[in-house]
Structure 1
């Protein structure tokens, strides 16, 4: 029978479950301790040492290496949006813009009720092109 060792401690059970799933996806058996205690009384988390993640002793080094990996840059690259380009000048300096907001505000101040004739869209800051969305 293999001896289990703590490879990591977490304040929240969700974080421990994510780490456990990462280890199990690599074929490393993992178990979580004190998950339900912290779920029931989260103020006890620090007092009992947090939610502990256990693995068999022979997988300790490999498990710690997997848990130390940082995939933040991969996630950012996967969800990075391409900058929108202007249809007229091909500039990348396109922003979200509300056309007619200032006149609508002035009419609201002068007349006392809103006349909403403004348009939401994208505007090129280089050539002034506007596209309604």
Structure 2
């Protein structure tokens, strides 16, 4: 079995959410580098984040599942007459991590560290 990376995340819990989604579809997957980043989260962007990997033969199917927009299921899960949940836009799991804020924090930390 040859493993390939189908998605990268900044935080381990994001990768585990995506892994649970793949597992629910019968696709075996594994989360890589979660412990390294859990111990030293500043390395996340430098290492390419926490990686979600699947068997190479299932790569296209896994990517398609992660790219699905399932936000419409939130309203379907409500009981009749129950007020709608306003969750805003729920992105697909493949684009869950927004690393822009983390990169800004890392740069600010780096400049502070160099200046002191």
Q: TM-score scaled to structure 1, two decimals?
A: 0.57
Determine which structure has the larger helix proportion and give its number: 2
SS of the residue corresponding to residue 47 of structure 2 reads coil
For the residues of structure 2 that align with 1:80 and 1:11, how far apart are their CA atoms?
A: 34
Q: Which residue of 1 is the match for residue 65 of structure 2?
A: 66
Q: Return 5+ residue gaps in structure 1 as ranges.
A: 85-133
SS of the residue corresponding to residue 47 of structure 1 reads helix
Q: Which residue of 2 is the match for residue 20 of structure 1?
A: 19
Q: Return 5+ residue gaps in structure 2 as ranges.
A: 84-116
Q: TM-score scaled to structure 2, two decimals?
A: 0.65
Highest Rg: 1 or 2? 1
Alignment of 1:15-94 (within 5 A): 15-79=14-78, 82=81
Q: Which residue of 1 is the match for residue 3 of structure 2?
A: 4
For the residues of structure 1 that align with 2:76 and 2:31, how far apart are their CA atoms?
A: 31
Moved over 4 A (4+): none
SS of the residue corresponding to residue 46 of structure 2 reads coil
